[in-house]
A and B are shown apart, each in its own frame.
Chain A
């Protein structure tokens, strides 16, 4: 029960950080995507059913707070989860370095999936300039913040010990 409450508090905190606190202090491409970092964590650590549902829901939550394409992040977060879950069987998921690298690669992957889906399904010409322009700082910031999150969050640390 407390575990679910912890997760809920973390997700709510992430939402407010991403939409209110970070925009007040950080320039646009340097705002970390915490919900994506949570998805990376789920990909390496969670079971297939709970993880897939949670990552899809996290994506939909991100969609409700960003842009006008509902389901775009739902799809890309689910894809990140499935790929990482598949890879997790062959990797040492206790490593924080792996998580940081995972967050970095997930940022690149989601950016390219967004780009592809928007170019295929929508008339958003020129969107590549926004996405690619912000990609490098986003990767760096997400990698940095994921390192901090995986070091600080007791939930991650507790599971790491088990």
Chain B
């Protein structure tokens, strides 16, 4: 009696059983992959390999059209005012924007070069070509990969300070986990008092200094730098500035908020530190 009932049940709910099994398999797949979250797998490498070359081109074309669009917007009023002068102004405006862009790029790259000169060991300069596909996480894609010597776990810096570390590597591109992501953790120290802690990502593009003991001397405005503990980041790289310190009546640790020196939303050029 039990067997025909079971067959009937399976016939009736076959699709739901398959669906439930598939869902369980997907959950198992996700939990098994958690062990490998610091390394990229073949699928991720393949996606990065396929998207990066086209991504670079799309990014370039996007920049070109973006420039044209901005120029057009800035000249609408002039065209209405004087048609004869439009061409001259357009040309001059384009030159001005280009030269201003070149000066700004030069300044950024100069700061990066200064930083590169001050760092021990070699580094690889890279451009940011894409961002995370969702708003929940903070990662960016750069145009350098294993062919250029980039490896998973390498620290990444910009002219203003620490950016994050490499978490996925393909042949010609890589993905960086930014310092502001919740999964990021960097051993740090307060420059003035040498109080130690771990800088972790927080919502709103901010960070927090975790595991800093209540008795430690941390003040608003203090500079937080990498401590070198853990061996991923070299010692003394600037991370951010303390914006809030809160000491509760109880508990071992104090609550410390930081504003990173690097503006992650405007990141363009970075240096991958080869250790």
Contacts and interface: CB of A to CB of B under 8 A. Distances in A.
Interface of A: 12, 15-16, 18-21, 23-25, 28-29, 31, 33, 35, 48, 52, 56, 60-75, 78-79, 82, 85-86, 111, 114, 117, 121-122, 124-127, 129-131, 133-134, 138
Nearest to A56: B26
Interface stretch (B11-19, B77-85, B189-197, B234-242): B11-19
Given A48-B19, A121-B34, A124-B182, A67 B134 contact: yes
Nearest to B134: A66
B37 interface: yes
Nearest to B69: A25
A121 B27 CA distance: 11
B60 to A, nearest CB: 10
B121 interface: no
A133 B36 contact: no
Contacts of A67: 132, 134, 136-137, 139, 181, 183
DSSP majority for the A interface? helix
Interface of B: 15-16, 18-19, 22-23, 26-27, 29-34, 36-38, 41, 43-44, 47-48, 51, 54-55, 58-59, 62-63, 66, 129-137, 139, 141, 167-168, 177, 181-183, 200-204, 208, 265
B202 A129 contact: yes
A138 B181 CA distance: 18
A162 B175 CA distance: 42
A19 B55 contact: yes
A40 B185 CA distance: 35
DSSP majority for the B interface? helix
Contacts of A19: 51, 55, 130-133, 141
A1 B49 CA distance: 25
B51 A15 contact: yes
Contacts of B62: 20-21, 24
Contacts of B137: 66-68, 130
Contacts, number: 155
B135 A48 contact: no
Contacts of B139: 66-68
Contact of B44 (A20, A70, A114, A129): A70
B52 to A, nearest CB: 10
A66 B139 CA distance: 7
Contacts of B182: 124-127, 130
A67 B167 CA distance: 9
A129 B135 CA distance: 12
Contacts of A23: 130-131
A69 B58 contact: no
B41 A68 contact: no
Given A71-B26, A138-B135, A129 B19 contact: no
Nearest to A131: B136
B19 A82 contact: yes
Contacts of A131: 136
B129 A65 contact: no
B34 A122 contact: yes
Contacts of B129: 20
